Structure 1
């Protein structure tokens, strides 16, 4: 079931920075005392907190093995790891008992990593803790009114309005369950530093700046964890991650730019497995700065029309992705694969700039250097395209997100699909209360945007929801709150004898049905 290796194959291999003094032959995997593999994953950074709603792509790679959710998204329902089927998880079944009430039957006998047994009270506490006055507020939880343990088997979730996406929400971090007693004992920060869940691997510690380690939890309610341990190693340099894979130091390496993967393809023991992830990278405008050029929707649209995003997607990502939109295949029947982004139209861009009275005012785009693969190259190429239509764009590269502030006119960012329903994605980030892009409107979305998003979130009729979703995408193309560049590609370098399928999100799944070491 794993993707075919060699997708980035080229005629000549690039030379890894420096000459390796060792033979480029993968070594055998390290095995634990019971014969199971001690897996080693190298990625650019690790994260300090691994709490239940942590919002970091790198932390998500770790937490997917720590927690389970009430409802499970079966990525393997499609062989390429893009499946969106929703199946039982910590809830064995569910029933809608009224337009706003759902009863979930909770799996019995499930153990937490501290040896205690999961109860319906833990389930209710965990979900309650993600909304309202909870300590782990999560914007996607805004539809929930209450969560109550009816008895030792049933948990009732009541929503504020009919919520057609509730099951999809319960398959996200919103549906993760953790022990109430432990969380209340150590507090939010302490829990993030040493989390406890019900997943197949349990926390074994973090060395700041070096690694995070998980070990097998053999009391897991599902199939026995196939690995003895997983160590996520912090290796910032791409060339060092590649070299480590080739010499057998690592089993999987993440976050590889397509133009640096040739040594892996040309090695007999390793291969590239790549997927376009359910994320869109973008240039987000600070629209609230009313005295700046980007406050005018015509100038924002001109910047989008004069940027050849299809070309950028093709050249920067080796033909593995396309120009971006907020529509994702994971939306299932709501997805519109034939509806593309705004076209590349420099002449219309010039017309809009003239109509807006643009006179060469500087537009500054801030980015965190090295955070998003290929982002610097994308904007540098874009600056040449913008120059051709008369736009004066400056790139401001900063070292970290702590320096971002409110300076500049736009900034590089990204958004996830979030869940298998169009109530996620764009509406989740830009429309509903708590959305992390609301600040770029100035705090409140346009009234029409809010009305369409609400119709998607609360509607129960497929046709009505579909029309509202189509209208919302059209409105986005009129307002252009951000330039959607492309869905980024996550390229992993992997030992060939390790059966493992990457998913179309940043999660790394090492459960029994998705990993087998044949070394």
Structure 2
């Protein structure tokens, strides 16, 4: 039995802990989906990257104004056409106290370009990284590549020592469903560290005590809740159970505004939602057409395009929270060409005629893969597409599922017809030309071109665009490449998605156009 002085001391200690706990500022977030892993190299998907981007950091990042700014590199410059010198930040520690050095950058490069990585396209233009000293590196590119700093803002640096000690030298492979220590535990240099992980339920992050930078935030703890049901998510916001929710169901935007307890933040997102088709296999995996692949015929691809009632999707499904597009990039991305941003006309009869000319007067059956918890009203969009295609005799066997299984499936290219959304995170068209339109190949080229559309001329132009420093010449080449893809109907663009976040009054956040939510910019008031 403790003596009275010891008991008094214990009581005082508990009271102090309770007081400190009461003063801790907690940010409560509700999202329709979860990061499928805490491994920052395992999936190139915005939600996963925004969550892990609060724990891990890149060499170069984007500030609250979305402009490039220093992170783990303090400065950078080209010292030769294919060489970039990066000076690394000193006195930075990983969460376990291990010092950050050039060895971690080189390790993270090898990890990101290696087996199992889903972020190969971020480092695909890098030939090698040379260590000058512990805090200086030279990044050698395969060709002159002036937009390298823009490209690597979502390539996060991991601890070589920690990964080796925890058997996490390679990232988890989302196509195979393999997990490792990095799936559930973290050790970054970022402002927050993972404390608790319950996949698809909730994750808890706490402020790192040894973070090198100054934060524009008073948040000590972040509770990231997964609330898939739209009505439940909205109810949690309006009842005060959560501080931030994303996305806001488009049908509830006006209701939340009228309620007055929260602000709705809206703006154009860099994301374009589009449809892809298997154009490589001689026979589709999931269709009643045997012995050939209808999608290899441009007339069929065009028929699908012209059969889609995009205005119904815009007005009824998206409640005007989407902007129909004719290109795979929105106006905010460098390389956008207004004269090309025109959709083929919605014309059911023209689509029927094209199908008949291609040898499918009665249509055919094909399975369509779609997520139901990744994009705004994603499964509803797919249902609308299916209804449109039914008018030209195409029977869509829709398979809508949670993104945890959806991405595993389509990234393995086990699909015939699918929906995908893409953000040009570099705010440059090369980030669409290379990973989405490029012929699947080395270094991340065509890594997310899941239907394997291929045009060697476009690939050659993409390489020229990557290294061209004359802006006039570069824009002309971009225009040619985009027109080429458009004429081929390599993919079917649908719309630019609109950002809809809801934030409890008294909470301030920074809404970035790539839909990333850096917690280091969030202030929670009482």
Q: Per the shorter chain, which TM-score range?
A: 0.7 to 0.9
SS of the aligned residue for 1:47 comes to coil
Go from structure 1 to structure 2 and tell me whether the alpha carbon gap of 1:368 and 1:349 turns closer, same or farther (over 3 Å shift).
closer
**Partner residue, 2:58:** 69
Cα deviation for residue 106 of structure 1 reads 1.1
**Partner residue, 2:239:** 247
Which of 182, 192, 195 is equivalent to 2:183?
A: 192
Which of 345, 351, 354 is equivalent to 1:352?
A: 354
The correspondence of residues 255-266 of structure 1 with structure 2, limited to 5 A, is 255-266=247-258
Q: Say if 2:73 and 2:86, in contact at 8 Å, map to a contact too.
A: yes
Cα deviation for residue 366 of structure 1 reads 1.5
The correspondence of residues 148-227 of structure 1 with structure 2, limited to 5 A, is 148-173=130-155, 176-188=156-168, 189-224=180-215, 225-227=217-219
- Rounded to whole Å, the distance in 2 between the matches of 1:406 and 1:48 is 19
- Rounded to whole Å, the distance in 1 between the matches of 2:395 and 2:272 is 22
Cα deviation for residue 250 of structure 1 reads 0.8
Q: Does the alignment pair 1:446 with 2:455?
A: yes
- Rounded to whole Å, the distance in 1 between the matches of 2:159 and 2:52 is 15
SS of the aligned residue for 1:452 comes to helix
Which of 27, 40, 45 is equivalent to 1:52?
A: 40
Q: Say if 2:195 and 2:206, in contact at 8 Å, map to a contact too.
A: yes
- Which moved further from structure 2: 222-231 or 339-348? 339-348
Cα deviation for residue 381 of structure 1 reads 3.0
TM-score normalised to the size of structure 1? 0.84
- Rounded to whole Å, the distance in 1 between the matches of 2:137 and 2:86 is 5
Cα deviation for residue 111 of structure 1 reads 2.0
Q: Does the alignment pair 1:379 with 2:362?
A: no
**Partner residue, 1:131:** 113
- Which moved further from structure 2: 298-307 or 491-500? 298-307
- Rounded to whole Å, the distance in 1 between the matches of 2:275 and 2:118 is 28
The correspondence of residues 216-365 of structure 1 with structure 2, limited to 5 A, is 216-224=207-215, 225-290=217-282, 291-324=292-325, 325-332=327-334, 334-337=335-338, 339-346=340-347, 348-365=350-367
**Partner residue, 2:4:** none
Q: Say if 2:270 and 2:333, in contact at 8 Å, map to a contact too.
A: no
Q: Say if 2:280 and 2:452, in contact at 8 Å, map to a contact too.
A: yes
**Deviations 1:36-87 (CA, angstroms, capped at 9, x unpaired):** 421111122323421122323332231121122211223x32xxxxx3x222
After the TM superposition, list the runs of 4 or more consecutive aligned residues in structure 1 that deviate by more than 4 angstroms. Answer: 132-137, 402-408
Structure 1 unmatched ranges of 5 or more: 1-29, 78-82
Go from structure 1 to structure 2 and tell me whether the alpha carbon gap of 1:409 and 1:40 turns closer, same or farther (over 3 Å shift).
same
- Rounded to whole Å, the distance in 2 between the matches of 1:439 and 1:243 is 37
**Partner residue, 2:88:** 106
**Partner residue, 2:286:** none
**Partner residue, 1:20:** none
**Deviations 1:250-284 (CA, angstroms, capped at 9, x unpaired):** 11122232013344222221122233322222221
Structure 2 unmatched ranges of 5 or more: 1-17, 169-179, 283-291
SS of the aligned residue for 1:187 comes to coil
Cα deviation for residue 297 of structure 1 reads 0.8
Go from structure 1 to structure 2 and tell me whether the alpha carbon gap of 1:482 and 1:200 turns closer, same or farther (over 3 Å shift).
same
SS of the aligned residue for 1:470 comes to helix
**Deviations 1:478-507 (CA, angstroms, capped at 9, x unpaired):** 111221111223322210210112222232
Which of 391, 394, 397 is equivalent to 1:392?
A: 394
- Rounded to whole Å, the distance in 2 between the matches of 1:438 and 1:424 is 12
- Rounded to whole Å, the distance in 2 between the matches of 1:312 and 1:102 is 45
TM-score normalised to the size of structure 2? 0.83
Q: Say if 2:310 and 2:346, in contact at 8 Å, map to a contact too.
A: no
- Rounded to whole Å, the distance in 2 between the matches of 1:45 and 1:368 is 14
SS of the aligned residue for 2:382 comes to helix
Go from structure 1 to structure 2 and tell me whether the alpha carbon gap of 1:373 and 1:465 turns closer, same or farther (over 3 Å shift).
same
- Rounded to whole Å, the distance in 2 between the matches of 1:132 and 1:397 is 31
Q: Say if 1:313 and 1:319, in contact at 8 Å, map to a contact too.
A: yes
Q: Say if 1:40 and 1:231, in contact at 8 Å, map to a contact too.
A: yes
- Rounded to whole Å, the distance in 2 between the matches of 1:320 and 1:236 is 20
Q: Does the alignment pair 1:470 with 2:479?
A: yes
**Partner residue, 1:427:** 434
- Rounded to whole Å, the distance in 2 between the matches of 1:381 and 1:134 is 35
- Rounded to whole Å, the distance in 1 between the matches of 2:340 and 2:358 is 28
- Which moved further from structure 2: 217-226 or 227-236? 217-226
**Partner residue, 1:497:** 506
**Deviations 1:451-493 (CA, angstroms, capped at 9, x unpaired):** 1222222333322321221112111111112211112233222
**Partner residue, 1:412:** 419
- Rounded to whole Å, the distance in 1 between the matches of 2:221 and 2:358 is 59
- Rounded to whole Å, the distance in 1 between the matches of 2:227 and 2:390 is 37
Q: Does the alignment pair 1:40 with 2:28?
A: yes
**Deviations 1:396-425 (CA, angstroms, capped at 9, x unpaired):** 224442666867641222223132222202
Cα deviation for residue 370 of structure 1 reads 1.9
